[in-house]
Every structure is written in structure tokens, then in C-alpha cells.
Chains A and B, each alone.
Chain A
Amino acid sequence: MNIIVCVKHVPDTEAVIKPHPDGSGIALEGSNYVLNPYDEYAVEEAIRIKEANADATITVITVGPDDATKSLRTAIAMGADDAIHLNDPAFLETDSQGIATILAAAIRPLPYDLILCGKQAVDNDCAQVGAALAELLGIPGISVITELSVETGKATAHRELEGATEIIECTLPALFTAQKGLNEPRYPALPMIMKAKRKEIKTLDASALGLSPGDFAPRSRRLKVSSPPPRQAGRVLEGKVSEVVTEVVRLIREEAKIL
């Protein structure tokens, strides 16, 4: 079985996020980059499937700048077999649709039964690449899964919905995007980390993929990024219980406008 996991190198979630004053983007100088947490679930799931199927191989793929290899190595240290780095300065200017196009171009020539992605990247939170990629490859795409079982030729996945669980069966090959709860990603063992450090990573640029800039040109454009309004300090209401309750109800009605 051939499993492909698509991952992204993203700023660490604890990084302090500040938009550029001109609203053109986000200043990320102070942040370290890590393997996208949702992609970690995807990698972990792939490894678990591999542990149950001796003949399975796992290939991780990313589109990203030079240092994105760090996240590929994290995935290898966890247990992935091979890694492909799609790296071209031109790739950095595109949008989700463009990324999916680039990934599709890389994946098409490869044998695959299963493609796993994180449900979204924690930086831009677009949650589009997985779905778009399934569409481009013409295979079933099941998003936001919390459980997955794979048999020959088919797979069953659980999706956590508001107050319900949806169980979906589909034929393989298929693409799934991982939600938190799918598994508990492992912490890589040191011998694996050392091995991953030395692992050769295949790098492909646009021309190697047979893509011209027009193929992955962004079709959407970011206009402005700004901070949310600062949160107001909490208020403590004091006094008799009945008064406090009346006041709370008033505040909910008039200020929060929830009721």
C-alpha cells in the first residue's frame, strides 16, 4: 500500500502574531516553524496503518521554502519512509488552489492508495488544499475525520459532526483530512531523529513538475490583515444576588446582544 501525506511547515502556534502596520501581511520574525499540528495527526495515522500493513510505504510531500525540510524530517523521524520537497520561489506566491495544483502535479505520477492531509494549516486556516487536491485528482475526499480503518480497496472513516458522528465508506484511492482526536501523535525516538537527519530528500521545482507559472497562479488575493479588537477586561459584578442577576441579564441583552 502506498500512502502519501501532505504536510505544511507553519509558524508555531505559540508564536506572537502581529500584522504588519500596513496590513499587507503578518510579521513572523519572532516565530519558529514546525510541522503543522493537524498534519501530525495525518502522519501518525499513516504510520499506524503502516504498522498494521508490513508492505506499506509512506511518502510525505510539502510545498514550501528551503527550511520546510525541517518538517519533512520531523515526519521521517516519526516513521515516514520518503520525502519530497516541492520548492520553487514561484510557489510561495500562490493560494490554496495553487498549492493543490502543485501537489496534484507531484502526486499524479506516483502510485498511491491513500492520501492523508491535516484538515487545515494553523497559519492561514483556509482548510482548502485537501478538498481541492481530491477534486484535482478525481478521487473521493473525506474531510475532518476522527477515525479511519483501511481494508483492501476501501476505507471507512468517522467524521465528528455537531452532536453526531457520521460514518463514511469509500473506495480507494481516496483522500482524508485529519481532525484532532484521530490519534495521539508519537514523539520520535532518538535513533529515528538521527536517521532522519541523514535522509536524502528529493526536491522538485516547477519545471521538474512540468508546471508553468500560469498553472498555479493565485486566483484570490489578500487585501488586508488586521488584529482583532483587543479583548476588554472582565467585569466583576457585586451586590445582592437578585441585583447581580438582573444586571447580568441586562448586559447580555443590551451589550452582548445575545438574547
Chain B
Amino acid sequence: MELVKQTIGAASTYVILYVAFAVALLLFIRGARSKMSVVQRGTPEGRTDRVRERITGLLRYVLFQGRLFKYPAAGLMHVLIFWGFLVFALGYAFIIFTGGEIQGRLSGIGGGALSGIYGTFQEIFGILVVVSVIIAAIRRHILKIQRLEINRDADTTLLLIFLIMASHFVVQALGIRLGEKLHGWTPLSQVLSGTMAGMSPAGAANLAVVLWWAHMFLIFGFLVYLPRSKHLHILFGPFNVYFRSLRPAGELPLIDIENAESFGAEKIEDYTWKSLFDLLSCAECGRCQDHCPAYATEKPLSPKRLLIDLKHELFESATGGDREADPLAGRTIEEDAIWACTTCRACQEQCPIFIEHTDKLMELRRYLTLMQGRFPSEATAAFKSLETNYNPWPIGWSERAAWAEDLDLRKLDEGEETDVLLWIGCAGAFDDRNKKVARALVGLLRKAGVDVAFLGTDEKCCGDPARRLGNEYLYQTLARENVETLKSRKFRRIVTACPHCLNTLAAEYPQLGGEFHVVHAMELLDELLRTGSLKPAGTVSATVSFHDSCYLGRYNNIYDAPRRVLDAIPGVTLKEMKKNRSSSFCCGAGGGRMWLEENIGTRINHARIEQAAEVGPDIVASGCPYCLTMFEDGIKEKEMSENLRALDVIELLDQSVGKT
């Protein structure tokens, strides 16, 4: 910069610099504001609470790029480009705000140590950025990584970054050639300058000046380009992290049925502003799609496409036209895609910037179900049975307690008290296979001396199937009745073997005034083992793979308890599947899919069973009635019954405890 000032004079240097910067800034602000105005078409939603938590998130997920490392190689590349960007941004900030280059400004501090450190950092990150950009280009165009699609804006961004870096290094090298002393360790600049030995000093000086300006204009150009590109994540990503949802993972937004006039998302403006903000923030990295069980089994759903298609709709609808007539569902997003989602949350767990895919799909389902009464026909039977018999199976409600008829299990009536209230759930009460699990659980709790009772026929479906199939009205009807029932009984905590019940009771009933202490059976059994109330003495020789159910793991963060329970059983060897814990692959039954036919593509439960078979366990264990059903069916259909069995962890523990 000193050279530039010498050549054209300090005054004209500053004039050009600041005028160019002002213009760039103005264009940047205009661009960003026009994007924001698009977002403002959404409905209101509060996302400014819990500031500390939000800022911590910024540090963790933006500064330290916490989620990107789920893909180590790509994560490293991204983090280098990002940190390189920060280091350079600091340098530009110095030029703009102090009128001079950062090394010069810092050189007075600490005997030049600070500027040396900066110079070294700048050099290293500069090199790493160049390398990362080249690798990124190779991944996109030569390796053609499937989750990344060719995207002109992404390419332009990469090219701009590359040119900015290239001009930076050449200017540095020319400086050395002209006898300037760089701060810190600058190997690449040194090597480059070596190639310029033959250049005349005057020529080198001229080139340096031109390239310095070119460099600065590229930076300003980048600033102008950013809000205009479709690759907005650089700009919006950090804000998206800041405004991320801090609600419980499994809590769908509550609809005020009495006062709302329309339900769900018919038009793009029916989404909240944050939902629209998501659309602009998406980096199209495809991580979500990579983990989507629906996508993996050839359903017409990709969470990434969902975002892209809604984004296009957002911009196109902003330009007007007679588009309003048709709803999003069926036009922008295929109905089969809307119903294909298992709400497994794998996409959201992976997304580096916390985009919320499932709520977008749920709002479309709500529109279809509540406004149009349109859903896969199989759901009708489940809805009607839920309405009249309070369970999704077509079984009379008065049969709900039949599974426990000979168990002498205490029914907790109004006003009565117990320590543990066992919430059976529809599967445990009505499905023959899962009745066995419920009975095993009762047996274990009794052996441990736990004071336990259940609601008998007063229990109703928690409402999860209805809610996840978009039928908020039916959900609220069931949920409110359950909340009333629960409030009229006294208990210390509720225990359930069903992660869907767990999620609904713990994360969703508070919306309706039902605040209860709810734990999953795995947690209670883990506790009883720890305190010594349960002693698994009998050996169960088996290699077991534990399948993390979506609503147990990703939704409610229960990963270790079931593994500890399995570990406590003598003879059991745990063998993890490749996709485990937060990267677990859905069984296919969540999101109400349990009640729908799966007639597109291959079956999700088959895919998961094959993943289990890969590591060769004798038993695939889970802590969810839906998973158990899906696996039993999958094993039968794939004719693998000789080598593989599906069990609930409760049953395995019961085998061991029962043997004493």
C-alpha cells in the first residue's frame, strides 16, 4: 500500500479506496436488504430469547465450525477457508478503518512480534485457502461428490476467493522483489518472488500497484456479489446459527385451533420468517440429503431439494404473477415427498447451520390434512380409530388394559398416588409383540421393588401419530384429555418404553399445560442397575447391535443409558453399526409412517436391517416399539430369521435378571 501511495499519491489513493468501498458497501447493503425483505414476508416468530446460549452457539458452530467436522475432510477444508477468511478480513478492516496495512500498524507493538504473528498466520491461511479452494473445485468437478451439485454461484465464489488469494501472493512476492521486508514467516511469497528475479524494478513496481488495486477491487466486488449470489450461506449462515431453534427438538409448533383461520403452509408466506431465512442460508452442501433415509431408499424426498425448491418458489412468488392459486403442496413440493418423511431428524442433526427441515414438511402436512382432508388413504383408518378408540390400531378402547389382565397391575384412579406411573403406549397395549415388552418391563420394575401403577383404560394415545401426520386437531383432542387425566393423579414420574410417547409427553404436553417428569424405561433401568436394585446375574451370550431410535437419540439425547444397560448384562457383546448414535438410520416408522404403506422405492426397514447384518450381530436391539415391529418385519421379509433376531433391550435385561 505504501508503494501505491508513493506512485499515485496518498490523497488519491485514499479517495479511490474510500469511494470504491463506499459504493461497494452501499450495493452490499441494498442487496442484503432486498433479500431481507423477501424473508420479511414470513409470519412472526420469536427467536431472540436466550441471548447467551445463542452467542455460545455462534462461537461453537460458526467460529469453531462445530458441526462441519461430522465430515472430517470437508470440515477441515471449510474451516481453513473460513478462518483464512477471518484472518484476511481483519487485514482489510485495518486498511479501511486505520488507512494502513495491518502489519505496519501492529509493528510498533511488542517489538514487531504481533505483526510477525499476523504475517505468519496470513501466509499460512492464505496457502491453506488456496489449497482448499483447489480441492473444493476438484471435489465438485472431477470427483463429482454426489451430495454436491454443480452450482454456478458456488463456482463463482470459489473462483473469486482464488483470485483474491492469487493476487495477494503475487503482490507480496513483488514486494519482496522490490526489497520490502515482510513480517513473519512467508515461505510461499518468498518462493514466488524468487521466480521474479528477472523482472525490472520499475516493471515490478507497476505490476504491484495494478495488482494491489485489482486485489482490493476483487474484495469490494466480492462484497457486492455476496448478497446477490444464490450462495448466501456465507452471509446468512452465521445468523441462521444465531437464530437457531432452542425449543425442545421434538416440539412441533402449537396451533391455536380456536382462533386460527387457516392451518399449515398453503403459500410460502405462511412459513415463519425464520423458516424463510433457512431457505436463504442453505449452503446446498447436501449433508442432510446424505443422511435422509427417504432419499436413500428412492423416495421422491430430499431435504436439500426441499430447501432449494422452496427457495426458488420464494423468489419467484416475490415477482408476482398468478401463482397464488395453487398451494405449495403438490406444486412446489410433491405430495409423495411430503408424506415420505419419517421425521427422523437426521437432516437437522447434520446441517452445519441448523436448518429446520422437518417443521417445513410438517406445515405442508398440516395444510393437506387440516385444510384439504387429503392424505394417504391408509391414514383414514388410523385417524378414525384414534377418534373413537384412542389408538391407531382398529381395536376397541375397552381392550386397552387386556394385556395386563393377569398381572394384577395396579390401576391408578383419580386422586390416587404412585411413585412410578407406567405409561404403556398404544403399542405396548395393543400390539401382541410389544405386549411382551410391556410385561417384561412390569416384571423388572417389580423385581426392583418399584412402586408402579398404570392408567388402564384411562390412558389414550399420546397423539404422536396424529400430530406427525398433520392432524393437529386430533392430536390436541387426545393430548388435552391425557393432560387432564395425568393432572388428576399423583406420581413422582412417568416411565414409558416408547420414545414417541416419551417425546410427546415430555416435550409437547407442556404446550398444553402438562408439565410432568417423564423418563424412558432405559433411563430408569439404567438407574436401577446402578443402585443395585436390579441384578442381571444370568448370562445371555449374544452379540448385540443397538439401534438408536430417532425419538430416543436425536430427539431426546438418550444414547448412553441403553448401552449401559446392555453392558450390564453378562455375556452380551456390543457391536456398533456403522451408522450409530446421532448418525443412526431410521427404521422407517416415525412421523406416522408406521400407519402408511411404503410403496415407493425400497423399504427403509430393509435398508436398516442390512446395515445391521453388515456387522454380524445375533440380535438387533432397540428401545422403541415401532423399531421392534419394523425390524421383525424386515428380518422376516429378508428371510434372515436364522441369524438375526430383533428384541427390545428390556427383554434382554429381563432374560438376564429372570435367570437368577
Residues of A within 8 A of B (CB): 12, 14-16, 30-32, 34, 184, 186-191, 193-194
Contact = CB atoms under 8 A, between A and B. Distances in A.
Main SS at interface, chain B: helix
Contacts of A15: 396, 398
B370 A12 contact: no
Given A190-B257, A190-B263, A16 B398 contact: yes
4 closest Cβ pairs, A-B complex:
A30-B398, A190-B370, A187-B373, A14-B396
B383 interface: yes
Interface of B: 257, 261-263, 369-373, 375, 377, 380, 383-385, 387-389, 394-399, 472-473
Contact of B389 (A14, A186, A189, A194): A14
A85 to B, nearest CB: 20
Contact of A32 (B263, B371, B397, B473): B397
7 contacts: A12-B388, A12-B389, A14-B388, A14-B394, A14-B396, A30-B396, A190-B370
A188 B374 CA distance: 9
Contacts of B372: 189
A12 B377 contact: no
Nearest to A14: B396
A188 B373 CA distance: 6
A31 B396 contact: yes
Contacts of B384: 34
A34 B257 CA distance: 23
Contact of B388 (A16, A34, A191): A34
A190 B396 contact: no
Given A30-B398, A184-B377, A190 B473 contact: yes
B240 to A, nearest CB: 32
Most buried by B among A30, A31, A188, A190: A190
Contacts of A31: 396, 398
Most buried by A among B262, B375, B398: B398
Given A12-B396, A15-B398, A16-B398, A187 B375 contact: yes
B265 to A, nearest CB: 14
Most buried by B among A16, A32, A187: A187
A16 B263 contact: no
A16 B399 contact: yes
Given A190-B263, A190-B473, A14 B383 contact: no
Main SS at interface, chain A: loop
Contacts of B262: 191
Given A14-B396, A16-B396, A190-B473, 14 more contacts: A14-B388, A14-B394, A15-B398, A30-B396, A31-B398, A32-B388, A32-B397, A34-B384, A34-B388, A187-B369, A187-B373, A188-B373, A190-B371, A191-B261
A84 to B, nearest CB: 24
A194 B257 CA distance: 9
A187 B380 contact: yes
A34 B397 CA distance: 14
Contact of A14 (B370, B371, B380, B395): B395
A51 to B, nearest CB: 14
A184 B377 CA distance: 9
Contacts of A186: 373
A32 B388 CA distance: 6
Contacts of A184: 377
Contacts of A193: 473
B577 to A, nearest CB: 38
Contacts of B263: 190-191
A190 B397 CA distance: 24
A226 to B, nearest CB: 20
Contacts of B473: 190, 193
B388 to A, nearest CB: 4
Contacts of B389: 12, 14, 32
B478 to A, nearest CB: 13
A182 to B, nearest CB: 15
Contacts of A194: 257
A210 B431 CA distance: 53
A189 B257 CA distance: 12
Nearest to A193: B473
A187 B386 CA distance: 13
Nearest to B383: A187
A189 B395 contact: no
Nearest to B402: A16
A53 to B, nearest CB: 21
Nearest to B255: A190
B45 to A, nearest CB: 22
A189 B262 CA distance: 11
A189 B396 contact: no
Nearest to B472: A190
Contacts of A16: 396, 398-399
B397 A30 contact: yes
Contacts of B387: 34
Contacts of B261: 191
Contacts of B397: 30, 32
B480 to A, nearest CB: 15
B388 A189 contact: no
Contacts of A187: 369, 373, 375, 380, 383
Nearest to B391: A14
Nearest to B261: A191
Nearest to B473: A190
A33 to B, nearest CB: 8
B398 A189 contact: no
Contact of B371 (A12, A30, A34, A191): A191
A31 B370 CA distance: 27
A193 B388 CA distance: 16
